[in-house]
Amino acid sequence: MKAMILAAGKGTRVRPITYTLPKPMIPLIRKPVMELLIEHLHRHGIKDIAINTSHLAPLIENYFRDGERFGVRIAYSFEGALVDGEVQGVAVGSAGGMRKIQDFSGFFDETFVVLCGDALVDVDLGRVLQFHKEKKALATIVLRDVPREQVTKYGVVELHPDGRVLRFQEKPSIQEAVSTVINTGIYMFEPRIFDFIPSGQEFDIGGQLFPALVAANEALYGVVEPFNWLDIGSIPDFWEGTRLLLEKQLPGFELPGQEVRPGIHTGINLRVPWGSVNIQGPVYIGSGTEIGAGATLIGPSVVGSGCVLQEGATVRECILGDYTRVSSAAVLERKIISGGKCIDPNGKYLDINESQIGWIVDDARKQMQLTAAEAELWEQVMDQVTA
């Protein structure tokens, strides 16, 4: 069976992280989401994968290359053009992206799977395939049952008892929702699906293809599978997802590195005076990180590689990107530091340069230079706090 991963989106709901990282490359602790996805496909015996790229395409393509390192074979379908050195995305939509590949080479010559590249899933594709074949489906949507309070975030699906899709409801209210099973963005198709996808125009799977199948009374089925699903479609989701992983609440997900103390996982080449720091797990501390005496690090937290927590710095429930420096004067609580931004779990953020908080948190590779005002403020605040 072949697969396609949709990785061409701009990730607008995960800004500002996606200003510098395409959504599928957002790391869950250390691994990009898409790597975890490809590992999952590989475990199911899938070897040939087409990936459509656009926004920040090189970051994806340079990481996965031809896929050999991951035991798969990858072909990229680049959607866009390079204009004056800048990639300009050309929107073709999710189904449009499939069609582009099919028009190019007829790649999809047997039952295939399409997944969104921004969720961690461990669905049993073998069972989905079995269902798909039994029903002689043209298209099967993998559905998941969620608590009723959550239906407002998703596309809800109404099923006939035999599994046929009756209709869709996009982000319904709790009262209006006709069911609690939602579209997970994982689909299984027969090549005949391309009869319903026009060439050369923008076409979306959920918004256009599926309604067309329902209207034409085609064999569109939904299968409800229990599986672990970590959606990182927004900053709050990414925040919650990371916490879940740190607290080991996702079965089958192993924290990277070694557990050097209970609840504390690390990489290698660390400089940490264990006797004089206050570190409480669950935390992951990346390789090459330095933590100064008297610093406080409280989990759940992820500290990237090459980070510096200066003496006395306080970091509480944070996700720090690689090469983050937290200065002694800082108290960082519930923040994501990524790409020069200081982000709250609700998505609001400060630009470190524009807000001039580089003296609190910045790139560890920059030389630290305090202005006179900053040095004075630091001293005064520390005086007042310790008084």
Q: Would you tell me which residues interact with other proteins (CB under 8 A)? A: 329-333, 342, 344, 348, 350, 355-357, 359-361, 371, 373-374, 376-377, 380-382, 384-385
Helices 57-64 and 33-43 meet at what angle, rounded to 10? Answer: 40
Torsion, Cα of 356, 360, 361, 364 (10° steps): 100
Point out which residues pair with 4 in neighbouring strands.
50, 114
Q: For residue 164, what is the DSSP state?
A: B
Shortest CB 343 distance to other proteins, Å:
10
151/297 with CB nearer other proteins? 297
Shortest CB 239 distance to other proteins, Å:
16
92/337 with CB nearer other proteins? 337
Shortest CB 361 distance to other proteins, Å:
7
Shortest CB 33 distance to other proteins, Å:
28
Shortest CB 338 distance to other proteins, Å:
16
Angle at 83 between CA 81 and CA 88, to 5 degrees: 50
How many angstroms separate the CA atoms of 224 and 111, rounded?
19
265/341 with CB nearer other proteins? 341
Point out which residues pair with 80 in neighbouring strands.
89
260/331 with CB nearer other proteins? 331
H runs (alpha helix) in the chain: 33-43, 57-64, 93-105, 125-134, 210-215, 235-246, 372-386
Shortest CB 375 distance to other proteins, Å:
9
Task: Let me know: does 142 contact 122? Beta carbons within 8 Å.
Answer: no
36/360 with CB nearer other proteins? 360
108/359 with CB nearer other proteins? 359
